[in-house]
């Protein structure tokens, strides 16, 4: 029987007309794994398109080899994908309603999922789902290696972007020897770590920095100071001229407070809708909290959305966070 990696390699070699999809509001791993797959298919001489409900984030423009990202299938015109590859999507809803509908209707003859979320139900025809993998882009790197495509140039950079994003620059508990070995291989093949980091990190607006200062003054601590959170209204972001992307990683930084086991950013996300991004330390498992509310993620980084306002979300979520914090005590 074929392993998922060899089944995917066979698919990439023998099929054509691919669509590469990742989750909405893409982070560095979603983008890195999408770009990486595109570059693999490009070197195999295949037809492919990229799709993301939220489009391509400006923050990663330096990593884009010139690929355009469709936000709707209609934008693809006459291109009819025969294989749809989902990357970094923990379930069939993460890429947005249009893709969820396509999966339900079996619009694409063949579907592939490359992912590392714990709750992934193997929703595609071919599933390369490894919850112990540090990043989806690590799995993309494995596929490139299995195809004898070296992790250099833009491909190396795309894979590296996912590794850096999901391991907090090789500092979180999911940073394993395999990840570091792949990163070392990419560096050996020419990636400049310093230049890469300047592209990724040296991009904050002054407004964003000031907003983080304001948010820091509003941190709430609860449950014997083991849970830290901030609440962000749409009005706050609008007044600062910022978007949700400017909050990226605030929750990870909140986790740095001594004694904090769980941190969270609770944010108004549209009309009567709230998004909660959580981080935790060591063996405190917040993925279970996210799944409880229909979201998902990883042991130390997870998120969910719910209807209602911030106060209602807090009331629902805090008891579950407390349970998770105490379960690991």
Q: Which chain residues interact with Mn ion by CB under 5 A?
A: 29, 88, 136, 166
Query: CB 301 → Mn ion: shortest distance, Å?
Result: 9
Query: CB 49 → Mn ion: shortest distance, Å?
Result: 21
Is residue 22 a contact partner of residue 60, using CB atoms and an 8 Å limit?
Answer: no
Quick one: 136 or 266, whose CB is closer to Mn ion? 136
Quick one: 81 or 162, whose CB is closer to Mn ion? 162
Query: CB 279 → Mn ion: shortest distance, Å?
Result: 14
CA 274 – CA 304 distance, rounded (Å) = 8
Quick one: 29 or 91, whose CB is closer to Mn ion? 29
CA 277 – CA 229 distance, rounded (Å) = 10
Place of tokens 């590794």: 163
Nearest 5 degrees, angle CA 14-CA 16-CA 33?
Answer: 95
Quick one: 40 or 140, whose CB is closer to Mn ion? 140
SS3 273: strand
Quick one: 156 or 162, whose CB is closer to Mn ion? 162
- Look up residue 319 and give its two tokens: 């008891």
Query: CB 179 → Mn ion: shortest distance, Å?
Result: 12
Query: CB 167 → Mn ion: shortest distance, Å?
Result: 10
Is residue 38 a contact partner of residue 48, using CB atoms and an 8 Å limit?
Answer: yes
Is residue 22 a contact partner of residue 34, using CB atoms and an 8 Å limit?
Answer: yes
Helices (DSSP H) in 47-176: which residue ranges? 97-105, 136-146, 153-167
Query: CB 130 → Mn ion: shortest distance, Å?
Result: 11
Query: CB 60 → Mn ion: shortest distance, Å?
Result: 14
Quick one: 275 or 298, whose CB is closer to Mn ion? 298
- Look up residue 214 and give its two tokens: 């304001």
Residue nearest to Mn ion (CB): 29
B/e letters for 70-82, b = 16+ CB within 10 Å, e = fewer, are beebeeeeeeebe
CA 302 – CA 222 distance, rounded (Å) = 19
Task: Give the Cβ contact number of residue 98 at 10 Å.
Answer: 15
Quick one: 173 or 212, whose CB is closer to Mn ion? 173
CA 74 – CA 53 distance, rounded (Å) = 12
- Look up residue 202 and give its two tokens: 């040296």
């Amino acid at each position: 029987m074929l392993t998922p990696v060899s089944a995917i390699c066979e698919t990439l070699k023998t099929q054509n007309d691919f669509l590469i999809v990742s989750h909405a509001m893409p982070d560095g791993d979603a983008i890195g794994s999408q770009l990486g797959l595109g570059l693999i298919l490009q070197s195999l001489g295949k037809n492919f398109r990229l799709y993301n409900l939220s489009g391509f984030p400006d923050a990663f423009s330096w990593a884009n080899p010139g690929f355009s990202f469709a936000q709707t299938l209609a934008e693809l015109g006459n291109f009819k994908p025969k294989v749809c590859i989902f990357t970094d999507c923990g379930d069939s809803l993460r890429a947005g309603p249009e893709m969820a509908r396509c999966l339900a209707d079996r619009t694409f003859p063949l579907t592939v999922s490359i992912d590392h979320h714990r709750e992934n139900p193997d929703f595609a025809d071919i599933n390369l789902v490894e919850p112990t993998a540090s990043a989806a882009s690590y799995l993309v790197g494995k596929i490139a290696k299995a195809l004898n495509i070296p992790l250099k140039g833009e491909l190396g950079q795309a894979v590296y972007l996912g590794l850096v994003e999901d391991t907090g620059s090789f500092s979180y508990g999911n940073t394993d020897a395999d990840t570091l070995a792949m990163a070392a291989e990419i560096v050996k093949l020419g990636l400049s770590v310093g230049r890469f980091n300047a592209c990724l990190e040296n991009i904050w607006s002054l407004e964003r920095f000031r907003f983080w200062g304001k948010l820091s003054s509003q941190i709430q601590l609860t449950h014997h100071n083991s849970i830290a959170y901030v609440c962000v209204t749409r009005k706050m972001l609008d007044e600062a001229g910022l978007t949700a992307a400017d909050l990226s990683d605030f929750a990870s930084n909140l986790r740095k407070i001594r004694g904090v086991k769980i941190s969270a950013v609770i944010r108004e996300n549209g009309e009567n809708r709230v998004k909660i991004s959580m981080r935790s330390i060591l063996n405190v498992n917040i993925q279970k909290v996210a799944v409880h509310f229909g979201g998902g993620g990883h042991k130390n980084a997870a998120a969910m959305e719910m209807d209602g306002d911030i106060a209602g979300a807090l009331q629902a979520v805090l008891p579950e966070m407390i349970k998770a914090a105490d379960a690991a005590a």
